[in-house]
Structures are given as structure tokens and as C-alpha cells.
Structure 1
Amino acid sequence: MKRTILLTILAFLCLIPSSFAASTVKNYVLVDTKSSQAFIPVRLLSEFTDTVVSLNAAEKKIQITRGETLLTLFTNQATAYNNEEKVTLKQVPFAENGTTYVPLQWISESLGLSVKWDKDASSLHISYNDDSVSVPFITRGSIQAAASPIVSERKTYKVGSKSFSVQKVTISLLHPKIELDVALAGNTIGKVEDLSSIAKRNKAIVAINGTYFDAYTKNDFKTPYGYIVSKGEIKKVNPTENRTIFTYDKNSLAALIYGQDFTEKYEQGSIEGGLQAGPRLLVNGKVSLDVKNEGFRDPKILTGGGARSALGITRDHKLILLTTSGATIPQLAEIMKQAGAYQAMNLDGGASSGLYHNGKYLTTPGRKISNAIVVKYQ
């Protein structure tokens, strides 16, 4: 009897599509450039209250139920049904990399969803009553076309009459094997550790130093400054600062927000990781510096030059991690713009500045550090 029950359970599990079984799968909207139509992962709809999604792989049938509405679609077929009403779709559902996609326009109109596009964040906000979700959008086929999800290179950028040699690592955030995390030295607030050790302990292929910390205290406890969030949990709180915070959600939708906006964003439950540093360098592709308003008073930030670390976000959801030396904050902003960032912020610098990739340093820090942004390749 037990064997029969076990076999029944296993048979049932085998019917669950892999896209539903994997909790770490990223949701994003695909935009077809030929038709200008958008497609959403059908599993995304199950995040809305009282909405049930079911797939029948054998019949290639997709059913979406909410209240008295039953939508029936078929992969690679234009015929669909809204309850008993037969409909001919302009764009057909399809399966790609284990995920089933359905046409956004017909689905949103049929279910009464509100859709708002944010071109600056390259994201789509979908809402219904009190439920809402934001997901990144990309061009269909762009992830598959990428030669590698992680690219390391040394580049030279000229700002005014001065040339800067930089180390740059670019990560495709939406690639299914890429995972971000914010790591603490020794997994504890107040500890310090070699950047390479943090990377290896977290099984990361890329790591860059994170936010500022009390590096010059003689005490063993060296507190980091600003918010630090890892795996959805706030590890360090600093509610008084307005410094910029790098955040990302479970779909690897990354953003830069100001400190005063953090609490509201975090309470929405979407932030998976975050790190507060600053100052902000770029806003929507333009140099945007308001250093004093972010609370900085140190001449090293206001006027001085030195070793710098920075991160940038591109319009097509790539993360740029960059280190250079001898740059002022305005010069660093120009460098990040030339590097292809659309949004960018400064990280801790000086002796903390370090960049690690594929088992070795591209830029070696001059001291142990408190925290880091790490990139894992699963």
C-alpha cells in the first residue's frame, strides 16, 4: 500500500512543469521586436490572489482561472477561449527554456490587470486590486544571444585630459545561472575578512567590496555603515542616512534608491538584497551628483581622488562592477557613463577597493573588508 502511495506521489510530481518546481526561477517579460508584442510567464499570474494557473503538457493546454473567468490557451496555437467564447490571438503562447509565455495584452484585458511600463528601469508593473508585481523586460532572444553571462575586461577611459585604466566585470543579471548576494565578513556584523576569502566561502565567481565601515577603530568590532540586506533579511539598519542603496529582488530586477525611500520599498516585500553606500553617480544615463545632500562630509569624497569601486546598472539588466585609481567622484561618474551604465553609484574605496573574478584578484584590496557584493554562477 505504501509503495502504491509513493509511486502515485512521484507520478504527480513528474507532471509538475519544471518552471513551477524551481523556486529560484526568474520571471521577466519578453518583448518581440518584430511584432512589438509582450509576453509574460504564465506562472507569474499565480502571484495574484484567487488566480489559479494550470498546465497540461500532453495537450499543450494552459488554463487560467479567477472567479467566473476561465481562460484557455494552447502553446503555439492562435485559438483561445474566454470561458466559452472562442478567440483568435494575434500572438500565440510559446514555451522557452522550460517556461511558458502568454501574450500580455490579451491576458491583461481579459483579467482586468493594470499594466504600467517603466522605460528607465526597463520594468513592467502589473497590478490588480491590492496585488502588484514588478518584473524586468528584455528583448526576446537577448539572453540566449549573450556569449557569456560574465565578462571581465581591462579598459581605458578618458575624462578630460586624464586617462583611467579600469578593471570591469559585467554580469547578465537575468541569466538563469546568475545569483546575487550581499555577504558579511565572517557572516557577522562587525567582522572583517579578505575579499577573496569572502568570495571563496560564498562560492562566488565575482566579488567587489561593499559599503563603508569603521576601518580605523582599534576595537575588534568594526561596524559597517548603512543598510545591508541579504536573502530578504535586514542585517544592518541605518534609518537616518539618505545615501544611495543598491537593491535587487528575486527576479534580479536591480535598482538604486535613496535611503529615505528604503523602508517603504522594503515593506512591499520584494527586496531580496541591498547595500547602502553612495554617492549616486548616474541617474537615467546622466551624471547626477548631490554628495552633500546624501550626507557626505569627508574630503576624500567631496574633493579628493583615490582608489575607487563602483557599480552600475544598464538598461538591459546587466550589472557593471568597476575599480580604478586616482579618480575624483565626478571623474568616476564620467567613467561609469562611458562604461555603459544607466544608473550608477560609488562604493567604499581607498584601501577597501577590490575586485575578484574567477579565483584571482583583478584589483587587490589593501586591507580586510567588512562586506561585499558577490555573484554566484550556479
Structure 2
Amino acid sequence: MVPVRFVSEALGETVEWDQNARSVYIGGRPYISSETKQVKVNGKTFSLNIVRVDLNNKKIGMKIVLAKDALGFTESLKDMAKRNHALAAINGTYFNAYEDLKEPTGNIMVDHRVVHLGNYGTTFGFTDDNQVEFDVVKFKINGITNKDGRDIEWAPYAINRTPPVNLSTIVLYTPDRGSETRFNSGISVVVENGVITKHLKGNVVIPKNGFVVNLSGTETRYLDRFPIGGKASFSPAFEPSGTDVSFWQKAAGALGVGPRLITDGKITVDPISEGFSSEKILSYSMARSAIGVTANNMLLLVTVNRATIHELASIMHSLGAYNAMNLDGGASSGLYYGGRYLTTPGRDLSNALIIYKKND
């Protein structure tokens, strides 16, 4: 039986549920469906769970979500999906699963906001009208303060990430970090409504209407660039390697993961060139997740029980992906659809990509 949620989200449109095909139809046309199948690639058989999403349907939306709506926490994929009224969800980028703070490691954009810098691998991005791109993109933050009537530029090395102990650095914290910075080192500059209000030490509350800039180690020498009463602001910048910067400037969401699997219909796996060195990426056969888009704009969310990265690329190619990349895998690999798991993750997650139905 289709969950009642699907009916309520249809907002008066004709909705049909095909149990055999595990598909949702709006106005007689399927826009999201799932399938469990065996695929034979290079003489080996792989068990796949697949969710297909028609991105040509303007009632479909995509969103990057954070565990407990903040960076550094974890939550079950199912709870993230349900809390955001998702039709489908798949695990996102890598994170420090074995640390006290479960911080992600890749580029992340949520609701047009850059909330984390990763700067390795491939980044998947999408716009509000379901345009998508895959590219190696450097995300940056450019800041400006005003002192004595002149603008002074500053740039954080990271955003919403705990600075390493005994490292000199500048880190930006926004409300996407949560209510507090959650560490005690350095000196923090508090900005509210664009005005610098405080210089504090220790764990600092992040204002909902502002941000915090933390200076640690030798970087505290720049504290005089942030005078109390002065103005401060920041904005994102993007350095794509193969796509137009205007796409990233208007992107609604993005996940930096990788490596890239398919480029313009061809297998293009080269993890070392994207900054990967772990054997989990280079050679291991393990549970994998992947995201791809076909030439006719069908989004593919895929999990496989066990495969190498090169095998995963061949699998996505066999499914018709025109562009595709790897997502976090192993115990993080998870796929949710129709109110239940198709692939159950072995742990709580830091972030995810969800598919939802837009309100009219």
C-alpha cells in the first residue's frame, strides 16, 4: 500500500501507486520508481538497488540534508528522510565516522549556502529547476571587514570545521554548525547582523543572525582586522574545472564526493588525479553507492552489495548513466524509498541527498 504521505503530498493531483513496479505516478506518468536487480558486468554478477527519478518532472525536487540539521552530528538515513518528507534518499559524502565530532570531508551546499569546504574529488550540483552538473570544483569563501572606512579582505581556510590542535588557521562558523562552535581554542570574532559585536575565547554561541570567525595560533595577529563595531560579511566563490561558474553561483545544493565514474557517456575513473589515496577507493571491493544522470535527465540512485570503484563505473555505464560519480560507501551505503530501506546503512550518517515533491 502506498504510504498516506504520497497522497497528501500530491496536493490534489491524481496519484497512483504501482506495487509491482514500485512506482509513483502523477497524472498518469511515473516520476519515481525503484528496482532490485542482478547485473552482470565483466563476467561478474552484482546485486543492485536502484531508484530512478525523472528530473524533467518539475514537481520533483532535490535537497542536501544534514543530520539533525547541523554539521558534526549523525542521524539515521531513514530519520533524515522522514523529517524532510522525502520520497527517496541516498547517503552523501564522506565523514569522520570514528571521531567524536562526525564532521564531513567534502564540499557541501545546502539551500544555496556553502556550509563546508572539501576541495577534492568530484562535486555533484543541482539547481532549483533540476539542472545538474558533475565537476571538480574548488569552493571558497571570501570575507570583507571594514576598518577605519576601508575594506579589508580575509579568507577562511575552512568553514564549520573544528580546527586541528596546535594549527594556525582561520575558520568560519555559521548557524549550519549548530548553536555553538564546540571547541575552546583561539579567539572568536562574533558577527551579528553584519556588525562585529564581540571577541571571545572558549566555546562560543553562533548567532542565528550572523556568524563567527575563529583565529587560532599565529593567525590571531589578524584580530585587529576585526574591530568591534566594524562591519563584516562573506560570500562564496567557485573555481570549476570544466563547467560554467554561473551554474555553481545559482546552484541550490551540492555534494563533493567522488571519484568520477562516467563523463559524457564514457568511463573515466581516475581517483588518484582527484586526490584519493586510500585503498578503500583505489582497490577494495565493498558496498558502494553511486549517483548518475542519463542523457534524458533521469537521475539514478544506486547501491551495490560489493564492487570495486572500476566495477561500479561499469555498472553505472550499463545502467545508461551519461554522467556519474561515487558516493560514500561501506557501512555508510544506504538507499531509502517508499517509506523503507532498500539498502540499510550500517551506521548513522552525517548527510544525505533526498528527493521530494515540491509544493505548488
- Deviation of 1:260 after TM superposition, in Å, equals 3.7
CA distance in 1, matches of 2:246, 2:255: 12
Could you tell me which residue of structure 2 aligns to residue 55 of structure 1? none
**8 Å contact kept, 2:65–2:110:** yes
Could you tell me which residue of structure 2 aligns to residue 360 of structure 1? 340
- Write the letter of the residue equivalent to 1:377: K
**8 Å contact kept, 1:227–1:274:** yes
The residue correspondences of 1:1-378 to structure 2 (distance < 5 A) are 147-217=29-99, 219=100, 221-238=101-118, 241-260=119-138, 263-264=238-239, 265=245, 269-378=249-358
- Write the letter of the residue equivalent to 2:127: D
List per-residue Cα deviations over 1:133-189 (Å, max 9, x = no partner): xxxxxxxxxx99983100101121111121001000010112121110000000000
TM-score normalised according to structure 2 size: 0.62
| Secondary structure, counterpart of 1:148 in structure 2 | strand
Q: 1:144 to 1:365 in 2, by over 3 A?
A: closer
Q: 1:348 to 1:268 in 2, by over 3 A?
A: closer
- Deviation of 1:356 after TM superposition, in Å, equals 0.1
**8 Å contact kept, 2:120–2:256:** no
Q: 1:362 to 1:144 in 2, by over 3 A?
A: closer
List per-residue Cα deviations over 1:6-40 (Å, max 9, x = no partner): xxxxxxxxxxxxxxxxxxxxxxxxxxxxxxxxxxx
CA distance in 2, matches of 1:369, 1:308: 15
- Write the letter of the residue equivalent to 1:236: H
Work out the number of aligned pairs and report it.
232
- Write the letter of the residue equivalent to 1:344: A
**8 Å contact kept, 2:58–2:129:** no
Q: 1:309 to 1:146 in 2, by over 3 A?
A: farther
Greater CA deviation, 169-178 or 256-265?
Answer: 256-265
CA distance in 2, matches of 1:335, 1:170: 15
CA distance in 2, matches of 1:234, 1:360: 30
CA distance in 1, matches of 2:330, 2:46: 16
Q: 1:268 to 1:169 in 2, by over 3 A?
A: closer
**8 Å contact kept, 1:255–1:313:** no
CA distance in 2, matches of 1:327, 1:174: 30
| Secondary structure, counterpart of 2:98 in structure 1 | coil
- Write the letter of the residue equivalent to 1:254: V
Rg larger in structure? 1
Higher relative contact order (CA 8 A, sep 6+): 2
- Write the letter of the residue equivalent to 1:358: G
| Secondary structure, counterpart of 2:30 in structure 1 | coil
- Write the letter of the residue equivalent to 1:169: V
- Write the letter of the residue equivalent to 2:308: T
CA distance in 2, matches of 1:267, 1:207: 24
Runs (5+) with no aligned partner, structure 2? 1-24, 140-236, 240-244
Q: What stretches of structure 1 move > 6 A for 4+ residues in a row?
A: 143-146
**8 Å contact kept, 1:242–1:293:** no
- Deviation of 1:269 after TM superposition, in Å, equals 2.5
| Secondary structure, counterpart of 1:351 in structure 2 | helix
- Write the letter of the residue equivalent to 2:39: Y
Could you tell me which residue of structure 1 aligns to residue 15 of structure 2? none
Runs (5+) with no aligned partner, structure 1? 1-142
TM-score normalised according to structure 1 size: 0.59
| Secondary structure, counterpart of 1:345 in structure 2 | strand
Same amino acid, percent of matched pairs: 42
CA distance in 1, matches of 2:340, 2:293: 24
The Cα RMSD (Å) is: 1.9
